Structure 1
Amino acid sequence: MPQENGYHGNRQNSSRSIHSRASTAGNDDGIDRSRRNRELRERGYYSELATIDPDTRFQISQQAPIAHDDVLRETFRLSNSARASIFDLQGIDVAQILANSKEGEFTTEYKRSDIYLEKTYEPKVFMPFYTAPYKLPRKVEIERRKRLYLSLDLPSLLEERNIDTDKLMPKYVPADKVVTLNIPNEDPAPFDSFLPLYYFDDTDFEIWTPESWLALGHDPFTGLNKPLPGVALLPNIPADQITDIKDSNLRFHWHNVSIHDYDAEQQLWLVTPDDREHDVFDMYRSTKRSRKEIEAAENGSRSGASSATNGLYIYSNFSYTLKVFAGHRHNYSPDGTHGRYWVPRIQLHFLAEDPRVFADRVAKAYHDRKRTEAELRSTLFIDCMPTDGTGKLDDERIKRMIELTKTSAISKTIKDEYVTPIVEEVNLDYARTMNSMIFENVTQSDPISFAFITLPIKQRRPVPRSGCISIPEYSFNEVFDQFKFISLLTSKSAIDALKLVRTECDYVVNNLSLLQKNFPKHVKLDEFESMQVNQTSTTHMYLTDTWKNNLRQGIKTQFIDVGRGWYNINESDYHIYKVSKLKTFIERVKFMMQDTLRFLVQDSCQNYVRMIVDACTPVLDMKEGFKWPKDDLITTPYKPPKNPLFHLDLTIDQAGPRYVTSYESFPNIILGAFDRAILQTHAIPQIEKDVMENIFWGGEMLRLESVALQEKKVIEWRETLQKAVYASLVPLKAYADAYESYAPLMNLNIDQYIKDFEKTEKSIEDYRNEILVHIHEKDKLEKSIPTSIIIGPYFISAHKLREALSNKRKALVEALLASQTRKARTKTEELNDTFRDIQRKLYEKANNAEDLSEHREWMKSVPEQVDDKKDDIQKVLEEYVVLDEFMYNLSNEDFGLKYGVLAWPWKIRTMLEQVEEQHKEDEDRFKKLQVQDTATLNDKIDQLIMSVAGLSGHMSMDRAHEVANECRKLNKALKECVEASQTYNNRERLL
Structure 2
Amino acid sequence: MVTRPSSAPQRPRTASRQRAIFSEVLLVEVKPGTQKLAGPSQGRDIRSTRESRPLSANGFAARTRHVPALMLSNASKYAIIEPKVMESHRSVAGRCPRRLRIERLKKKYESQDIQRLLTERGVDVTLPWYEDKSPLPIEAFDNKDLDLRTPLEWLALGTNPDTGRYEKPLPVLALWRDPENSVGHWRRAVVMQYDSRVEKFEIQYEDAEPTDAGGRRGMMEFLPRLRVMFRGEDPEVFANRVEEAYKSRAAADCLLRYNFYIDNMPTDDVQQLNCDQMDWLRKAVKTGRPGSTVDTADLELTLQEVQLDFARAMNRVTFDTHILQGSADPWYTLLLPYVEKGFVAQAVQGKPPAPWKGRISIPRHRFAETFAKLCFTLRVRPEVVFALQGIKAQSEQGLNENIFGIDESRPLRLDEFRQNLRSSCAEAALALKEEYPAALQSIVLREFDNVEKGWFNVREKNVDLYRHGKLRRFLLLARLIMQDFLRNLAKHSVSRYVTTIERLAPLEIIADSFASVRSTFRTSLQTPLLAVEMRPVESHDGVRLDFLTDPQRFVPTALDAYNAGLQILNEVYPLERLMIPPRLQSSDGPSLIEAFQSDEDWVEDGYRRIHAAMEAGCAGPAKYLATLQSWEPLLNRNPNSFVDHFFRDRTGEPEPSDQEIQSAISEEMRLRRELWKLPETIDVGMFEVTTKDVRKALAAKHEITHLLLMERLVRRLRTQMDDTICDVRSLLSMITKTPKTVLELVEMRKSLSQLPERISQIKQRITAHLQLYDEIESFCHHLSPEDFRMRWELIAAPHQARAHLAQKAAAMQEYEAEFVRELLSEQDELQERLKEIEDTLKLFRTQPAYWDISSLSMARDAVESLWERIELAQEDAQKINKKEVVLERKTTDYSQIHHFSMTLNPFYQVWAIVYGFHEDEAKWQLGAIEDKDALRRKLLQTCQVLEKTVKSLQMGNWPAPIVQLGEQQLLKMEEFQILLLSVDHPHHEPDESDHDRTE
Normalising by structure 1, what TM-score?
0.46
Q: Whose RCO is larger (CA < 8 A, sep 6+)?
A: 1
Normalising by structure 2, what TM-score?
0.46
Larger Rg: 2
